[in-house]
């Protein structure tokens, strides 16, 4: 079981930002990544649909023998993880927007969160804000259109720049000092975001925290892979494999995006 892979899924290529951190922290692990790009964006779908896609993704990864599932999608984490945990026996890790560290460290007592509609409207996000951000002005902004642009390879388009200014300027006007990225696709935008928000605003994403959490759970369950055999990294996607391939090429030549009919 220890040599079985870690399974990671997202509504698309965003979870690659989580994959990178997991792979960096746990280079000894086999990993299977699944991008359900055909059904992205999840953020615009109903809770029932998000649960249905999450079940399908989980079943796929379990068939690949995965020993743990990382839901590398905030929208699926906030809407479907409860169901997955109740119905599958493998450990299920979820991502969570970094509201707590932002709220704890904010000097202006004003933080911004950019996420999908599905995440911002979820009970889990509401509960997290209630629990950790008392007395903090949390400015929520739906990043409508951002996931679709990233999924179609238009990260550096003028359309993207215009949307980012539109979403961030009102937060800057209210003097945020932290910007929480509540969607795993958004860390791909960090260079552009930095140019817009400047040095006074700290941008937080959840990649490193999720990688650490994955390691802790594997240790607890005695599932860490100690074998020195060559490690397998597999990437599956059900739409536009060339876009995922571009992202993979950016950080590791030789990783292949495989097209799935799924
Ligand atoms: N990466 C997903 C997330 O973290 C994107 C959601 C979507 O497909 O709308 O929420």
% of the chain residues with pLDDT over 90 = 87
Under 8 Å between Cβ of 108 and 177: yes
Task: Decide if 26 contacts 228 (C-beta within 8 A).
Answer: no
What pLDDT score was predicted for residue 228? 83
The pLDDT of residue 250 = 84
Q: Say if 51 falls within a structural domain.
A: yes
Model confidence at 108, pLDDT cuts 50, 70, 90, reads: very high
Distance CA 203, CA 29 (A): 29
Range of the domain at 178: 99-205
Q: Which CATH number covers residue 54? A: 3.40.50.1860
Q: In whole numbers, what is the pLDDT of the chain averaged over residues?
A: 95
Phi, psi of 133 (to 5 degrees): -120, 35
Shared domain check, 249 and 220: yes
41 lines ligand 1 (CB under 6 A): yes
Pocket-testing residue among 13, 14, 36, ligand 1, by greatest number of atoms within 8 A of Cβ:
14
How do residues 17-52 score in pLDDT, each as one tens digit? 999 999 999 999 999 999 999 999 998 899 999 999
Are residues 222 and 240 both part of a single domain? yes
199 in the same domain as 238: no
Pick the last residue of a domain from 205, 228, 243. Answer: 205
At which of 188, 205, 222 does a domain end? 205
Residues 159-211 pLDDT 10s? 999 999 999 999 999 999 999 999 999 999 999 999 999 999 999 999 999 99
Number of domains the chain contains? 2
Question: Which atom of ligand 1 lies at the shortest distance from residue 44's CA?
Answer: 9
Instruction: Kindly state whether residues 187 and 247 are assigned to the same domain.
Output: no
Tell whether 228 is covered by a domain: yes
CB count, 10 Å around CB of 226? Answer: 7
Q: Is the CB of 17 under 6 A from ligand 1?
A: no
Read off the pLDDT of each residue in 146-151 and give the average, rounded to a whole number.
Answer: 93
Clarify whether residues 76 and 48 are in a common domain. Answer: yes
Confirm if 8 and 18 have CB atoms less than 8 A apart: yes
| Residues annotated as part of the active site | 73, 183
Residues 52 and 71 in one domain: yes
Confidence of residue 3 (pLDDT cuts 50, 70, 90): very high
Model confidence pTM above 0.85: yes
Distance from the CA of 170 to the center of ligand 1, in angstroms?
22
Query: Are residues 136 and 191 both part of a single domain?
Result: yes
pLDDT of residue 252: 82
Same domain, 80 and 32: yes
Query: In this predicted structure, what is the pLDDT of residue 227?
Result: 87
Quote the pLDDT of residue 230.
84
Using the predicted structure, report yes or no on whether residue 75 has a pLDDT greater than 90: yes
| Shared domain check, 41 and 114 | no
Per-residue pLDDT at 147 exceeds 90: yes
Q: Closest residue (by CA) to atom 2 of ligand 1?
A: 73
Q: Is the CB of 184 under 6 A from ligand 1?
A: yes
**Is residue 68 within 8 Å of 6, Cβ to Cβ?**
yes
Shared domain for 120 and 162, answered yes or no, is yes
Q: Kindly state whether residues 88 and 213 are assigned to the same domain.
A: yes
Is the CB of 94 inside a 6 Å radius of any atom of ligand 1?
no
Domain identity same for 248 and 125? no
């Amino acid at each position: 079981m220890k040599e079985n892979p870690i399974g990671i899924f997202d509504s698309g290529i965003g979870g690659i930002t989580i994959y990178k951190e997991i792979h960096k922290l746990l280079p000894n692990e086999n990993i299977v990544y699944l991008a359900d790009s055909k059904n992205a964006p999840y953020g615009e779908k109903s809770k029932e649909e998000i649960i249905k896609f999450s079940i399908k993704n989980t079943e796929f990864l379990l068939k690949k023998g995965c020993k743990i599932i990382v839901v590398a999608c905030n929208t699926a984490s906030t809407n479907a993880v409860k169901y997955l945990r109740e119905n599958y026996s493998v450990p299920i890790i979820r991502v969570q927007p970094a509201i707590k560290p932002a709220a704890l460290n904010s000097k202006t007592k004003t933080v911004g969160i950019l996420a999908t509609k599905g995440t911002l409207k979820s009970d889990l996000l509401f509960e997290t804000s209630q629990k950790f951000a008392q007395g903090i002005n949390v400015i929520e902004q739906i990043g409508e259109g951002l996931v679709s642009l990233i999924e179609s390879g238009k990260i550096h388009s003028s359309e993207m720049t215009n949307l980012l200014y539109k979403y961030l300027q009102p937060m800057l006007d209210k003097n945020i000092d932290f910007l929480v990225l509540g969607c795993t696709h958004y860390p791909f935008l960090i260079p552009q975001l930095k140019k817009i928000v400047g040095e006074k605003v700290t941008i937080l994403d959840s990649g490193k925290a999720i990688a650490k959490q994955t390691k802790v759970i594997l240790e607890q369950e005695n599932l860490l892979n100690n074998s020195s055999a060559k490690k397998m990294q597999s990437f599956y996607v059900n739409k536009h494999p060339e876009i995922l391939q571009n992202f993979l090429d950016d950080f590791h030549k030789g990783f292949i995006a495989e097209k799935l009919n799924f």
